[in-house]
Amino acid sequence: MADVNVAVIYYSATGTIATVADSIADTARKAGAEVRLRRVAELAPDSAIDSNPAWRANIDATADIPEAEAADMEWADAVIFGSPTRFGNITSQLKQFLDRLGPLWLEGKLADKVYTGFTSSATTHGGQETTLLALYNTIHHFGGILVTPGYTDPSKFIDGNPYGTSHVAGQGDIPVGEQTLTAARVQTQRVVRFTRALKTGLAAGT
């Protein structure tokens, strides 16, 4: 089997996305991939963070996870991005990380990789699909290869999102449960499988 490098790069305020990211990273490792779990830099001031105890708690709990760098993108064969929805779009924190990848993009070093995404929102629907579609606009500019879950597994007819894993978190009072974790496993296993096949085929010149 070809070695596969998977970067899981996410932003999480109060911990929902961080929990899903952990599950995705674990699944990718179990599928035989080398994994880098990375969080993007926080942009909010301490005054905003301290106004929400769950936000501060997540900052403290994930302090040992390295911040994402452009080098992680270059290293990866597949990148799995995570972001809660902000008015139907990704967070400014993740967007800033993406916007700073211009030098790699100019060198063509973001092309021909596999990409996919996951998200969460406070309410059912709540911009989940538009957030993933907005993220995927960037992937098209990269020249990336989208691998989404689609309806390729019976579980997808339960969670109902073919664009990627999504979770309804309420006001932080709805924990990540088995439905979301199952969706994350299905999506991640599919990403690793297709990335391995793509890398093997390219190495063979086919």
pTM of the model: 0.96
Count of domains for the chain: 1
Nearest-angstrom CA–CA distance, 13 and 52: 10
Largest Cα–Cα separation, the chain? 55
The enclosing domain of 17 has a CATH number of: 3.40.50.360
In the chain, pLDDT over 90 holds for what percent of residues?
93
Would you place residue 171 in the very low, low, confident or very high pLDDT band (cuts 50, 70, 90)? confident
Pull the structure tokens for residue 151: 């309806």
Minimal CA–CA distance to 65: which of 83, 43, 38?
38
Position 206 confidence tier, pLDDT thresholds 50, 70, 90:
low
Close Cβ partners of 111 (under 8 Å, ≥ 6 residues apart): 142, 143, 144
Rounded CA-CA distance 171/14 in Å is: 10
Q: Which helix (H) or strand (E) holds 35?
A: strand 34-39
Q: What confidence category does residue 172 fall into, taking pLDDT thresholds of 50, 70 and 90?
A: confident
Averaged pLDDT for residues 3-32 = 97
Output the pLDDT for position 2. 58
> Rounded to an integer, what distance in angstroms lies between the CA atom of residue 88 and that of residue 128?
7
41-51 pLDDT tens trace: 999 999 999 99
Question: Residue 145 is encoded by which pair of tokens?
Answer: 């290869």
Q: Mean pLDDT over all residues of the chain?
A: 96
Domain that holds residue 46: 5-203
> Above 80 in pLDDT, residue 1?
no
